[in-house]
Chains A and B, each alone.
Chain A
Amino acid sequence: MANSLFEEKLYSDKFLVTSEVGPPKGMDVADMVHHIDLLKDKVDAINITDHQSSVMRFPSLGGCLLVKERGGEPIFQVTCRDRNRLAIQADLLLACSRGIQNVLCLTGDSIDVGDHKEAKPVFDLDSVQLLRTIKTMESGKDLGGSDFKGSPKFCVGASVHPEADFIEPQLIKFEKKVAAGAQFFQTQGIFGLESLRRFMQYASQFEVKILAGIIVLSSARMAQYMNDNVPGIIVPQPIIDELSSAGKGKGLQKGMEIAARLVRTIKEENLCHGVHIMAVGNEGIVPDILEMAQIVGAAP
């Protein structure tokens, strides 16, 4: 039996669509709830980010609880940046006890890119070790070797970067994640289909599901900013030029068109098992992109 609704869909032939919601800075969750409500019936699962870009926010686990309350399917993003192995295991137990069983295991961005630059970076575990930690927990033990009274079950995912400018060590790490039990991968934002095709030629030898990460850009300036400041992201010049060609105030519309075009082609050409749409602050437009890409809402 599947550990979650998302896991059940993962092993169907369905083209999967996930998206993400970033928790707010502070207690006012009204916008987050609004975005969850907009997305919950249109996507197969909603990722809740974990202090993305190392900017301190309302917690991922809190956001996942809200997704559950609203009747959606959450993916709990867990980074290794802020918690040691005790705290991570405890949060995973709490998550599972509340029916949050999809987990995306990430190393986490560097503290230096965020808004608490003087904080202590933890990184007691890395992403591969985190995946193995979950497998250990599922076997009924904690990392100290003690037995659990009541073991958790999860559906575990990880991230991979098909457009990394030096791909070989990234692929080795991908294989370590597969060996550590990752069932699905949501890729870093990709912009070129050629790199996705190349990656899938390689990745299809592994029994894992790949969801292509699609970042919705809202202007040429944002694309340039991401190239300069966001870890790992490389927006190619033709995409920046296309965004520049949009009239004043039409950048987001153009960005949505680009995203929808990528999503549609990926689905039509069956390039991978699904997409993960990251609208970075514009979560409300994800349903429009799905419509533009002619994706029908997530069927239960």
Chain B
Amino acid sequence: MIVAQQKPLEEIRRLIAPYEKILILGCGTCVTVCGAGGEREVSFLHGALRVAQVKGGDGVHAFLEYTVKRQCDREFLDPLGDRVSEVDAILSLGCGVGVQVVAERFPDVPALPGVNTSFMGATEQGGVWDERCAACGDCRLAETAGICPITRCTKGILNGPCAGTKNGKCEANKDIDCAWVLIYKRLESLGQLDKIRRYYPPRNFRTIPRPRRLAGITSIDLGGSNG
């Protein structure tokens, strides 16, 4: 899922400063799971902003709150129509995709980001998420024992570890496992060390020409004439 983190309250206050009526808009999907922008966080942020403006003595904002099922699908934004016409800005707690779809759907109202979209990751334990996928468009997990070197090696290199690894940890951060040590050990236990011995040529960055579009995916390609 997409993992995000709410922006610091002071930054959010600066973003909303020019506007009077603000819709705080949550998203019911990824950011709900990672506790950054679901219905609960919308309510907490609403409370925090009210307290802050009372304390700060600049009580000029009025807030509405609402959470849609998904901000990244236009149809889920349709029920918002009337509410948006009442406000001066939308503070979206959706990921960067959500903020942009909101901006496209409501072109006359500024859409402001309330979270920093961090990465695509998995839950490690309660309240901890780890990045797992860089959306490189050229998945090579079959060759690396299901451990992504592009995401989990700080250098994203393809032909084995650099010489900076110590105690199985990364030179950039002693709390992070060296991806290549993990890959080696798992390939070894799978009896697939031939995969790390192969040469991998430079990455093809044309798989990620920005912005990317994925179109015409209507069925699973089964290959051959039976597809």
Contacts and interface: CB of A to CB of B under 8 A. Distances in A.
Contacts of A127: 157, 159, 162
A164 B201 contact: no
B172 A110 contact: yes
Contact of B168 (A80, A107, A166, A176): A166
A234 B166 contact: yes
B212 interface: no
Contact of A107 (B162, B170, B181, B199): B162
Contact of A176 (B154, B160, B173, B202): B160
Contact of B161 (A123, A129, A173): A173
A172 B199 contact: no
Nearest to B154: A110
A112 interface: yes
B197 A172 contact: yes
Given A113-B172, A132-B199, A164-B163, A169 B184 contact: yes
> Looking at A160, A170, A179, which has the most chain B CB atoms within 10 Å of its CB?
A170
A169 B160 CA distance: 7
A180 interface: yes
A230 to B, nearest CB: 9
Interface residues of A, number: 40
A166 B160 CA distance: 12
A126 B180 contact: no
A54 to B, nearest CB: 10
Contacts of B172: 110-113
A159 interface: yes
Nearest to B155: A123
B154 A124 contact: no
B165 interface: yes
A113 B197 CA distance: 29
B203 interface: yes
Interface residues of B, number: 31
B127 interface: no
A172 B196 contact: yes
Contact of B164 (A110, A123, A129, A133): A110
B167 interface: yes
A124 B202 contact: yes
B171 A123 contact: no
A259 interface: no
A129 B155 CA distance: 14
Max count, chain B CB within 10 A of own CB: residue among A127, A128, A133, A179: A128
A231 B163 contact: yes
B4 interface: no
A176 B159 contact: yes
B211 to A, nearest CB: 19
Interface of A: 80-81, 85, 107-113, 121, 123-129, 132-133, 143, 159-161, 164-166, 168-170, 172-173, 175-176, 179-180, 188, 231-232, 234
Interface of B: 154-168, 170-173, 180-181, 184, 193, 196-197, 199-203, 205
26 contacts: A107-B162, A108-B155, A109-B171, A110-B155, A110-B164, A111-B172, A113-B172, A121-B154, A123-B155, A125-B202, A127-B157, A129-B158, A129-B200, A160-B163, A165-B167, A166-B168, A166-B184, A168-B184, A169-B161, A169-B181, A169-B196, A180-B199, A232-B165, A232-B166, A232-B171, A234-B166
